[in-house]
Amino acid sequence: MWPANAIQPIQVDRITHWDMINDLPKTGRLTPHAPLGAGSNPVDLLYVQPDGCYGSRPSGHITMLPVSHNVDSFGYRMDMLPKGLDINQESWSWLLDRHPRCGL
């Protein structure tokens, strides 16, 4: 979504509990001296760099909220969808919808 300019950078200083997020998603390491894990690392896509690209160098803006680590898919329970969503017209917009029916 970032390369398509479908989302805006998020200002880190607007995230009330930024300091409470552990280091794994913010640095890619469990401890400062731990090695980086093998494979894809979310921190490589986290921070917005001065040229507008993303990278692992900390900055004041991020591309996404680091809420999960090594999750490559999301699922939902159809029996728990909010009223008003048409299950025959699934859409990624459901994740971003700020309509009250979605509880955001």
Q: Above 80 in pLDDT, residue 80? A: no
User: What pTM did the predictor assign?
Assistant: 0.61
Q: What is the pLDDT of residues 13-56, one digit of tens each?
A: 999 889 888 888 888 888 889 888 777 788 888 999 999 999 99
Q: Where are the domains of the chain?
A: 1-66, 74-104
**Mean of the per-residue pLDDT values for the chain?**
80
How far apart CA 85 and CA 44 sit, in angstroms, is 34
Residue-by-residue DSSP string for the chain: -TTTT-S--EEGGG-TTGGGS-HHHHHS-SSTTSPPPSS--GGGGTEEPTTS-EESS--SEESS----SS-------GGGPPTT--TTS--THHHH--SGGGT-
**Tokens standing for 93?**
């917009």
